[in-house]
Structure 1
């Protein structure tokens, strides 16, 4: 049994799923709608960068923090300074303070050459130093029309790299044109974390409600259940176009129901 009282995997909500809502609203909505926990996307607002504030939200809403998403996105390059290794150390400190077991991190951008040069070994060193899982997330090639740009080093796809732990994001696999079920099979026990979302395979990173795109979300979740995956699945969808608050929460409920049904 996990902390929610259910056997098997837990289902969390990324605070990025309520954007342009706040981190505080992410905690509140996750607790009220019945999610098992939250993933804090560092950088969504100032509260997301404040360990004490996030602890207070977790305690007030009586919902645990499963994971911390390090501020390694293009739009969070200056959150917690500009040193990428410093961001990863601080993310581990936040995770430890909040009782989270995973730090989610993107691979370096191509222009971060010094950071990228020792990234694979550096992630392993961080895991040993902090005693926490750093799960490197799959990304995708950037495409414009017929042109394709490899924006990440050592690769956008962590499956073939020597990481002990990987986050698999189904919106990203859709954008990359990859089969997430096959990726999960190859990863085996290295699959440490999941972002569930959907995609039509557009060059844009869509993060649709699972079941609304062309990704095999149901088959993927059923594969995890069949193999006894007992780590966290986090709903990370884009609700910016949902309209009003009621429509946004309807999308979040649909995503939760879909994920529960197929696990």
Structure 2
């Protein structure tokens, strides 16, 4: 374990909340390994569930396959991440089709949250009706579509408008929001201020970290960057937050499965400690 893990163990946990906030693992955290690997790692380490990122991988799009994995590894699927990333632009066709199919997949696997990125600037028609459109789809399928915070793109040192209406969901008319610490770092934002401003609209958290300011989306292990991860977890543990905290760190540079699991175990322990949960 790293020094950061030892520091987390040495700190006194905050008093435990009346309810248990689930700590889940995003399948993005084991990329480029498979969805199957994501479930296996989550089970091995003692996570409370899984968030599935829909990609070109067939199992990530298939409700029956996902339900088999959830049953085999006793890992409920808590969220579906819609294929709204640049690298998944070819998955499921048009923007609205992506949202509808993601909502249907969530229903079919028993998840109540769909994570979605805001529209890109070039998706004009989609962007114009996005806020109302995601509300309509959420209502129609009985799920929550939690729009994720992003960050400004910088070209030759200047900020470029990449998202419409904006990368920051706080002032937007979204009923539900996902907050990502790494994206907050890239944007130079205070995650604690944002979470407090969102209040009851905060539906979902991607637990990671980053150094601010940065031109990179780093997805570091929490506690390895400059974001207020500790303060946010302590804050949500003491208010009415009823969503999930999902580990979404980058393990692509891990030296083998052992180091990947070590990093993900450290992330889980960090969450448990600062949410005031009893460590196993």
Q: Which residue of 1 aligns with 2:177?
A: 166
Could you tell me how far apart the structure 2 residues matched to 1:116 and 1:62 are? 38
Q: Which residue of 1 aligns with 2:95?
A: 84
Q: Which residue of 2 aligns with 1:69?
A: 81
- Match runs of 1:38-187 below 5 Å: 38-43=50-55, 45-81=57-93, 83-187=94-198
Q: Which residue of 2 aligns with 1:203?
A: 215
Could you tell me how far apart the structure 2 residues matched to 1:85 and 1:44 are? 18
- Whether contact under 8 Å (1:193, 1:231) holds in the other structure is yes
Deviation at 1:159, TM superposition (A): 0.6
- Whether contact under 8 Å (1:195, 1:236) holds in the other structure is yes
- Match runs of 1:19-30 below 5 Å: 19-30=31-42
| Secondary structure of residue in 2 paired with 1:160 | coil
Structure 2 stretches of 5 or more lacking a match?
A: 1-17, 276-280
Structure 1 stretches of 5 or more lacking a match?
A: 1-5
- Whether contact under 8 Å (1:16, 1:44) holds in the other structure is no
Q: Which residue of 2 aligns with 1:223?
A: 235
Q: Which residue of 1 aligns with 2:254?
A: 242
Greater shift after overlay, 120-129 or 160-169?
120-129
- Runs of 4+ that moved beyond 4 A: none
TM-score (norm 2): 0.90
Deviation at 1:126, TM superposition (A): 1.0
* CA deviation profile, 1:174-213 (whole Å, cap 9, x unmatched): 1000011111111100000000100012211000000011
Deviation at 1:229, TM superposition (A): 1.9
TM-score (norm 1): 0.95
Q: Larger RCO: Structure 1 or Structure 2 (Cα < 8 Å, ≥ 6 residues apart)?
A: 2
Q: Which residue of 1 aligns with 2:273?
A: 261
Figure out how many residues of one structure are paired with residues of the other and give that number. Answer: 257
CA-atom RMSD, angstroms? Answer: 1.1
Could you tell me how far apart the structure 2 residues matched to 1:44 and 1:212 are? 31
- Whether contact under 8 Å (2:50, 2:78) holds in the other structure is yes
Could you tell me how far apart the structure 2 residues matched to 1:215 and 1:238 are? 16
Deviation at 1:50, TM superposition (A): 1.4
Could you tell me how far apart the structure 1 residues matched to 2:264 and 2:159 are? 32
* CA deviation profile, 1:105-127 (whole Å, cap 9, x unmatched): 00000011111011111111112
